[in-house]
Amino acid sequence: MSKHDQLQDLVAAALAEARKRGTDVADLPLTAIATAAGVSRSTLLRRLGGSRGALDEAVRQSGVDPGGRPPVRERAIEATAHLAAELGLGAVTLDAVAERAGCSLPSLHTVFEGRDGLLAAVYERFGPLTELEALAADPPEQLEDTVRELCHAVVTAFQREPRVIPALFADLFSRPDGPAAHAMRGYYPRLYHCLDRLLLPHVTAGRLREMPLPLLTHLLLGPILAHLLLRPVIGPTMGSDLPPVEEVCELFTETYLRALAQVQ
């Protein structure tokens, strides 16, 4: 078989594997292309002259863009977030995500192991966990700063576009055992680990009243969560009488400290 024919066989194998996975040829590992072509990775590289550039060029000459778009995981997370923000969590079906992300259903199942795994990845990306883990890795020394930064982390997550978190809470409130709750079960241990590191040292030091961590958390975050959920509804009515979010954070921080901070 000539080198040209060998290269065309590799192109056909790569295109077939890309269609199967719902991804671009550029996103396929060389090992996957080699397996699809029925050759070893070393044989594949030898036929390509040592790099995949020849394969990408041959794919391009066949009339197909080898790609280089973001991986399926990234496209699916973005597509899901926009669907949830625009239409609510009920609109987030795997079919709808696959269509918007430009990928196949099998690729979503492979990458996320189903809808719950996809939703969990979206909540991790757009929720407050990133900010909370960064805060817990370098906690403020002062209790007041800790409380304020926790409030700001929640505000940041709520205001992050697309607005996934309001859709999450809407589903949690309407269906406590629904898809949002199922997807977040793996999220809670990490969330509470952060809150443990941020609040319990202040309890141990006698700066914060001792009570179960969930209650300390609910008293801290409950008011700001309720405010952010209601703000789009009451904002148009109250107009300028509604304080800016930054001022609301300061008010809730002060209220929390008055209620639970221990006099040193």
Strand partners of residue 261: 208
For residue 156, what are the contacts with CB-CB under 8 A and spacing of at least 6? 128, 131
- pLDDT attached to residue 144: 96
Spatial distance between the Cα atoms of 72 and 70, rounded to a whole number of angstroms: 7
pTM: 0.69
CB of 198 within 8 A of CB of 136? Answer: yes
Measure the CA–CA gap between 147 and 22, rounded to whole angstroms.
Answer: 45
The phi and psi torsions of 263 (rounded to 5 degrees) equal: -70, 125
Would you state the pLDDT for residue 20?
85
Q: pLDDT tens for residues 236-245?
A: 888 888 999 9
The answer to whether 19 and 43 are in contact (CB under 8 A) is no
Q: Is the dihedral of CA 65, 70, 71, 73 positive or negative?
A: negative
Taking alpha carbons only, the member of 59, 63, 2 closest to residue 28 is 59
**Spans of the chain below 50 pLDDT:** none
Rg (CA), the chain: 25
Q: What are 80's two structure tokens?
A: 């899901």
Q: Residue 89: what pLDDT?
A: 83
pLDDT digits (tens, 9 = 90+) for 62-103: 777 677 667 788 889 999 999 999 988 888 999 999 899 887
